[in-house]
């Protein structure tokens, strides 16, 4: 695309809704500022009601922010109606026009822009080729499968060459297998076109697979923003740690500092973990331990007792008690490994570099 890529910037955006039951006002999005780099693929991730869809719809222009300003590139776009904004959205329900065929659905935006007929034809066919729907242009939309319908919706959004592509949970109406193949497809197309994309989902694996950056939202505010690795390995709160992947939380009291590491007392045992800034001796800290980053051994770590041991094929699933804390573990490739049974006492061992202090 010859167009100059544009990013999106939200400057202290708030959106207030009225609760239909109580009649009270509440913040759907509260004082949110974020910057989305041109050409990047960013996911808004969070539980339902966290404000992610509202944020997306404010960028598209379907909702107006009550406070703050939205910028597309350097241009403030608060006052622009959706049809004047250089964005295109892919909807959860596909939103294809049922009285048009595939070609006319894709050509809709170009016709509105008064593009000459032969150019429309050329551009629509090119985009249909990109989403691998060549030969389907004469079909009515109800003759297409869910995956094909979503490709048409994507083609329709791409063909008008917007500066920003918006996705509102586009895959949640598809079955699990199709979801996985479609998300690779979306990523491929976004990379090929090099367009800025903002993607809303509540599915963390989708967010991981697609994004350059993930923005995790909770209760109307941004909880954390960063690359998938960043968020997975260095979550900044229990909410983020728990929302992305599975997490165990161990409480420990700081005994002493040891260079760049801290020695914590966890359930009566001294444990060395990477330190974070401003730790004080005697204070209590939470350590995040991912289920796959620890293993069970006969000795050499935190003493524990097995309460669940379950073969899952690619991994062995353990629940162990470390003192009073339940820790969930996944031990991959369990074939030929020593399997611990329920009731056995053993030792929880992990590499200090694989844990993270909140």
Q: Would you say 16 and 25 are in contact if contact means Cβ atoms under 8 Å apart?
A: yes
d(CA 179, CA 183): 6
Stretch that binds another protein, among 70-78, 85-93, 196-204, 303-311 (CB under 8 A): 85-93
* N residues, the chain: 358
Please give the DSSP secondary-structure letter assigned to residue 338: P
User: DSSP label at 345?
Assistant: E
List binders of another protein among 57-76 (CB under 8 A): 60, 62-63
* Shortest spacing between CB 117 and another protein, in angstroms: 17
Minimal distance, residue 147 CB to another protein, in Å: 18
Residues 6 or more apart whose CB falls under 8 angstroms from that of 272 comprise: 258, 261, 262, 263, 352
Structure-token pair, residue 214: 């993930």
CA 292 – CA 233 distance, rounded (Å): 12
Binding another protein by CB under 8 A: which of 52, 123, 156, 179?
156
CB nearer another protein, residue 157 or residue 348: 157
**Nearest distance, CB of residue 63 and another protein, angstroms:** 7
Closest to 270 measured CA to CA, from 258, 279, 260 = 258
- Mapping DSSP to helix (H, G, I), strand (E, B) and coil, where does residue 255 land? strand
User: Which is it for strands 41-45 and 213-218: parallel, antiparallel or unpaired?
Assistant: parallel
* Minimum CB–partner distance for residue 47 and another protein (Å): 17
Residue 21 engages another protein in binding (rule: CB under 8 A):
no
Q: Report the C-alpha gap between 59 and 52 in whole angstroms.
A: 11
Give the number of residues in contact with another protein, rule: CB under 8 A: 26
Quote the CA–CA distance of 58 and 255 in Å, as a whole number.
49
**Cβ at position 163, least distance to another protein in Å:** 13
Piece of the chain touching another protein by CB under 8 A; list 34-42, 156-164, 271-279, 281-289: 156-164
User: Among residues 71 and 91, whose Cβ is nearest to another protein?
Assistant: 91
Among 108, 199, 285, 318, the residue binding another protein under the rule CB under 8 A is 108
Nearest approach, Cβ of residue 93 and another protein (Å): 4
Choose, by CB under 8 A, the member of 89, 231, 241, 247 that binds another protein: 89
C-alpha 277: how far from chain center: 28
Q: Point out which residues pair with 346 in neighbouring strands.
A: 304
Binding mask 22-61 for another protein (x = CB under 8 A): --------------------------------------x-
- 83 near another protein, judged by CB under 8 A: yes
Nearer of residues 85 and 290 to another protein, judged by Cβ: 85
Q: Is 160 among the residues that bind another protein (CB under 8 A)? A: yes
- Give the separation between CA 135 and CA 125, rounded to whole angstroms: 9
Residue 238 near residue 246, CB atoms below 8 Å: no
10 Å CB burial of residue 263 (0-12, 13-18, 19+) is middle
Decide if residue 17 touches another protein (CB under 8 A). Answer: no
Interactions with another protein, residue window 112-131 (CB under 8 A): 112-113
Among the listed ranges 39-47, 88-96, 185-193, 208-216, the one in contact with another protein (CB under 8 A) is 88-96
| CA-wise closest residue to 45 among 185, 194, 235 | 235
35, 92, 265, 325: residue in contact with another protein (rule CB under 8 A): 92
| Shortest Å distance, C-beta 256 to another protein | 55
**Where do contacts with another protein occur on this chain (CB under 8 A)?**
60, 62-63, 81-84, 87-89, 91-93, 95-99, 108-109, 112-113, 153, 156-157, 160
């Amino acid at each position: 695309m010859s167009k100059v890529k544009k990013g999106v910037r939200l400057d202290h955006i708030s959106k207030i809704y009225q609760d239909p039951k109580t009649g009270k006002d509440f913040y759907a999005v509260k004082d949110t500022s974020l910057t989305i780099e041109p050409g990047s693929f960013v996911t808004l991730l969070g539980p339902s009601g966290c404000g992610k869809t509202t944020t997306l719809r404010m960028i598209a222009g379907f909702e107006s922010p009550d406070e703050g300003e939205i910028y597309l590139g350097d241009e403030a776009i608060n006052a622009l109606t959706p049809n004047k904004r250089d964005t295109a959205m892919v909807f959860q329900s596909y939103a294809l026009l049922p009285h048009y065929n595939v070609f006319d659905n894709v050509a809709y935006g170009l016709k509105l822009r008064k593009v000459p007929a032969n150019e429309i034809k050329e551009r629509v066919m090119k985009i249909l080729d990109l989403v691998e729907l060549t030969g389907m242009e004469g079909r009515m939309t109800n003759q297409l499968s869910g995956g094909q319908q979503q490709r048409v919706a994507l083609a329709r959004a791409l063909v008008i060459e917007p500066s920003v592509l918006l996705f509102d949970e586009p895959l949640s109406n598809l079955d699990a297998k199709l979801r996985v193949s479609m998300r690779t497809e979306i990523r491929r197309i976004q990379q090929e076109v090099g367009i800025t994309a903002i993607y809303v989902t509540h599915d963390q694996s989708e967010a991981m697979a697609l994004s350059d950056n993930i923005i995790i939202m909770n209760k109307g505010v941004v909880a954390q923003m960063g690359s998938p690795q960043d968020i997975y390995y260095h979550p900044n709160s229990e909410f983020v740690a728990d929302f992305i992947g599975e997490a165990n939380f161990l409480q420990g009291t700081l005994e002493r500092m040891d260079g760049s590491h801290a020695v914590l007392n966890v359930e009566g045992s001294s444990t060395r973990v990477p330190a974070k800034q401003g730790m004080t001796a005697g204070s209590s800290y939470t350590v995040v331990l991912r289920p796959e980053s620890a293993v069970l051994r006969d000795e050499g770590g935190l003493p524990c007792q097995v309460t669940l041991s379950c073969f899952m094929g690619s991994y062995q699933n353990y629940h162990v008690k470390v003192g009073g804390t339940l820790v969930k573990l996944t031990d991959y490739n369990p074939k030929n490994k020593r399997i611990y049974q329920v009731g056995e006492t053993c030792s929880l061992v992990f590499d200090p570099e694989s844990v993270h202090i909140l």
